[in-house]
Amino acid sequence: MNSISTMITTTTSTTKAATMSESKISARNVQVFYGEKHALRDVNIEIRPRSVTAFIGPSGCGKSTFLRCLNRMNDTIASCRVEGSIGIDGENIYDPKVDPVQLRAKVGMVFQKPNPFPKSIYENVAYGPRIHGLARKKSDLDDIVASALQKAGLWNEVKDRLQESGTGLSGGQQQRLCIARAVAVSPEIILMDEPCSALDPIATAKVEELIHELRSNYTIVIVTHSMQQAARVSQRTAMFHLGLLVEENDTDKMFTNPDDQRTQDYIMGRFG
Amino acid sequence: MSVGILIPVLLVLAALGFVLGKRQALALSDSQKTKLHSLPGYYGQTVALFTAVPALFLLGAWLILQPMAIESRIGGMIPDSVIPEGGARSLVMSDVRRIAGGLDAVLALGGMGEDELVRIGENLSTVRSRLAEVGVALVGDVPPVVFEAARAYRQDVKTGNMAMSVVVLVLAVALGLWAYRRIQPDMRARNVTESFVKSLLIAASMVAVLTTLGIVGSLVFETISFFKIYPASEFFFSTVWNPQFRGGSELGILPLLWGTLYVSLIALLVAVPIGLMIAIYLAEYASKTVRSLAKPAIEMLAGIPTIVYGLFALITVGPFLRDWLAQPLGLGTSSSSVLTAGLVMGIMIIPFVSSLSDDIINAVPQALRDGSYGLGATQSETIKQVVLPAALPGIVGAVLLAASRAIGETMIVVLGAGAAAKLDLNPFEAMTTVTVKIVSQLTGDTEFASPETLVAFALGLTLFVFTLGLNVLALYIVRKYREQYE
Ligand SMILES: Nc1ncnc2c1ncn2[C@@H]1O[C@H](COP(=O)(O)OP(=O)(O)OP(=O)(O)O)[C@@H](O)[C@H]1O
Ligand SMILES: [Mg+2]
């Protein structure tokens, strides 16, 4: 508990700066249905640029569902229907004019279980830049791959084995490879759905450190089940419950003096 | 007692053993006031298994060994003098069996008493007419010794069957009683029955293994005798296939192997692209309803008898290719051609490729697709660059399985590609394959011990080794692919 409170005090100063700028993502009246099931009700949220926003809440409350709305990954689920609007940089991403493929290049995603492609480490990272035509020459691609791996803090561990299979790495390394893969297409927003739930504490610490570093360049939204993790890495926290966004607040406020009783109960471990 | 009665009797005994064993176990546990180690039924099962199983095995063994023993004893009774010039002892023996069977029928009709048979040698003519009445016609003069042998044969079979019934029943009762006497509350009856059942299951799987070994063994055996009378180098390296009735045949496997490979290659060229596209469509694009309708419909192609495909090749595809392609292009005038057989066979093996590949593509984890979509890849990019490479080893396995199916196919080739062994590149030429020639060599009129017939076994063995190799390779690849995601 001690470490959390120190972490909270260190993050407070940066939070104030973030409050000044206008929001990167703004969701208005978002409703999500899976067939008949109403999974998200009337979600409104503003997410600030160059900051980390954590989504918390009990299992099945719709955190992943909302996260997947932000890059239209829900389009791949046939039964899923989204209503309302989600603006990114002021443009509604559910507008028919928007190409979800383009959108996903701008809004990258890291999943709960590390899912490297069964290709070499190099090819894993080069995959995104290739399909988006980001590199003209082989040397450009090499540079992109190297800098993405550096940003993901994996470069030193893999620089001598870029041609080995990505599936042969440890779980923590695989997850950082997936982050590098997302970073390589130069997104503006990175969505992470429980990125550390399959990792041991040391690998988790590395990924959290990485999130800290990425914050200066990217807008990060992370779903987590660990209050400590939310407290450690995020500036803003949003609490979901039964498909509702019950509270959204500064992280330090949220974990010390939440406005909503349900948040209080959840943080104190009374349910979920 | 005949086998038809003996087996039900054994089963009744076993059922009786079950009931008694169960009751005994319960009674003992009551009187000794101890808890049974196993459920009462297991004690009953133990008795029943000891009653029935060894006796049934003995019965099986007896049924195999008795005829062999009798044949050799009776065979010894027949002097060399009655074996006709150029004939074989086995021919005389089959006469013996025929007459013995006839005598049984005569007795059953009541035309003759058992005692009359004793004097069989004295009135051969009556016996012969009686035999003729029951449908056993004897050609020429059958020497008295043969009749004598037939009578002894009957006698032996009768005594043998009697002894068999007695021994089997005694064994069943003895072992059943032994198991019954051993029942004690602390006896581990469950373990006994379980190891019994386990051995039964092992025995059952041995049947499959031994059959395979038997098939291979007989192929190898006949192949060896073929290579004793025909040089192996000629067989493997000669480019001419020209069997003759009067010896001096040229039996080179190369033209046949070439035909097999050519037809299979065309079949795969048809089946692999179409099958793969079907698989991709079904796995990645089709809606649930379409998939649930289309998949069984496509798999139905594999259920059509190959002779029907053969007819389709013979009366539709063959003439069509000849009239619209071969003749206009001046490439041939034959309606049976490699192309015909290959095309039709390709259609037949489409479901092998599509169904297996569809399963394999479906087994590629959704997480990989999500990862690709999450990076902004389109569906076709995801399929081409992530899904298919991940599924590739499995797809290769599917293709190899389809290939071994194509290599073994016979009917479509007979009707579609003809029976002429040729080494030719022109796909509009009639050619033939290994399997077709195996059939025609074995159904010919030549003597069994001639190279013309025995070559079928060498062909069969070569084909077997070929497809076995393909299957092993396919299984190995598929298994390696599985490990990747488990
Ligand atoms: N593909 C789907 N089809 C139908 N219903 C779904 C689907 N995905 C999620 N749901 C439902 O939507 C609701 C929200 O699910 P979601 O995955 O967003 O929860 P979550 O908050 O991420 O939970 P967890 O913390 O366990 O990951 C749940 O009730 C779930 O059953
Ligand atoms: Mg979730």
DSSP one-letter code for A108: E
Q: Is residue A60 lining ligand 1, measured as CB closer than 6 Å?
A: yes
- Domain regions of chain B by residue span: 3-187, 236-485
**Once rounded to an integer, what is the mean pLDDT over residues B26-42?**
88
Most confident of B81-85, B152-156, B445-449: B152-156
Nearest CA in chain B to A131: B377
* Tens-digit pLDDT profile for residues B420-440: 888 888 889 889 999 999 998
pLDDT the model gives residue A93: 94
Nearest to B253 by CA among B78, B441, B90, B22: B441
Between B54 and B244, name the one with better pLDDT.
B54
Q: Is the pLDDT of residue B121 over 70?
A: no
User: Do A184 and A129 contact (CB within 8 A), yes or no?
Assistant: yes
CATH 1.10.3720.10 fits B236-485, yes or no: yes
The model's confidence at residue B108, banded by pLDDT at 50, 70 and 90, is: confident
pLDDT the model gives residue B140: 65
Between B257 and B186, name the one with better pLDDT.
B257
Q: Is the pLDDT of residue B264 over 90?
A: yes
Cα A204 to ligand 2 centroid, rounded to whole Å:
18
pLDDT the model gives residue A129: 94
Say whether B368 and A115 touch across the interface (CB within 8 A): yes
Q: Is the pLDDT of residue A14 over 50?
A: no
pLDDT the model gives residue A192: 94
The partner residue sitting opposite B370, judged by closest CB among A73, A101, A127, is A73
Residue that is written with structure tokens 């932000």 in the block: A70
Say whether residue A202 is in contact with chain B using an 8 A CB cutoff: no
The model's confidence at residue B134, banded by pLDDT at 50, 70 and 90, is: confident
Q: Is the pLDDT of residue A229 over 90?
A: yes
* Tens-digit pLDDT profile for residues B142-194: 777 777 888 888 888 889 999 999 999 999 999 999 999 988 888 888 888 89
**Once rounded to an integer, what is the mean pLDDT over residues B262-279?**
95
Q: Is residue A111 lining ligand 1, measured as CB closer than 6 Å?
A: no
Q: Is the pLDDT of residue B483 over 80?
A: no
Nearest CA in chain B to A78: B287
* Tens-digit pLDDT profile for residues A244-272: 999 999 999 999 999 999 999 998 887 65
Residue that is written with structure tokens 């229907």 in the block: A81
pLDDT the model gives residue B114: 66
Tokens of B72: 């050799």
Instruction: Tell the residue nearest (CA) to atom 28 of ligand 1.
Output: A60
Say whether A104 and B371 touch across the interface (CB within 8 A): no
Cα A148 to ligand 2 centroid, rounded to whole Å:
26
Q: Is the pLDDT of residue B118 over 80?
A: no
Residues of A in contact with B287 (CB under 8 A): 78
pLDDT the model gives residue B119: 63
Say whether B381 and A131 touch across the interface (CB within 8 A): yes
pLDDT the model gives residue B178: 93
Q: Is residue A74 lining ligand 1, measured as CB closer than 6 Å?
A: no
The partner residue sitting opposite A132, judged by closest CB among B368, B373, B376, is B376
The model's confidence at residue B393, banded by pLDDT at 50, 70 and 90, is: confident
* Tens-digit pLDDT profile for residues A193-215: 999 888 888 888 988 998 998 99
User: Do B291 and B282 contact (CB within 8 A), yes or no?
Assistant: yes
pLDDT the model gives residue B122: 59
Q: Is the pLDDT of residue A97 over 80?
A: yes
Distance from the A170 Cα atom to the nearest Cα atom in chain B, whole angstroms: 15
What is the pTM assigned to this prediction? Answer: 0.72
User: Do B37 and B185 contact (CB within 8 A), yes or no?
Assistant: yes
- B425 Cβ neighbours under 8 A, 6+ residues apart: none
Say whether B373 and A76 touch across the interface (CB within 8 A): yes
The partner residue sitting opposite B375, judged by closest CB among A104, A118, A167, is A104
User: Do B108 and B130 contact (CB within 8 A), yes or no?
Assistant: no
pLDDT the model gives residue A239: 94
Cα A82 to ligand 1 centroid, rounded to whole Å:
14
Residue that is written with structure tokens 């002097």 in the block: B79
Locate the ligand 1 atom nearest the alpha carbon of residue A58 and give its number.
25
Mean pLDDT of chain B: 87
Least confident of B51-55, B92-96, B312-316, B468-472: B92-96
- Is the ipTM value over 0.90, yes or no? no
Q: How far is CA A213 from CA A47, A144, A151, B270, in A?
A: 18, 18, 8, 55
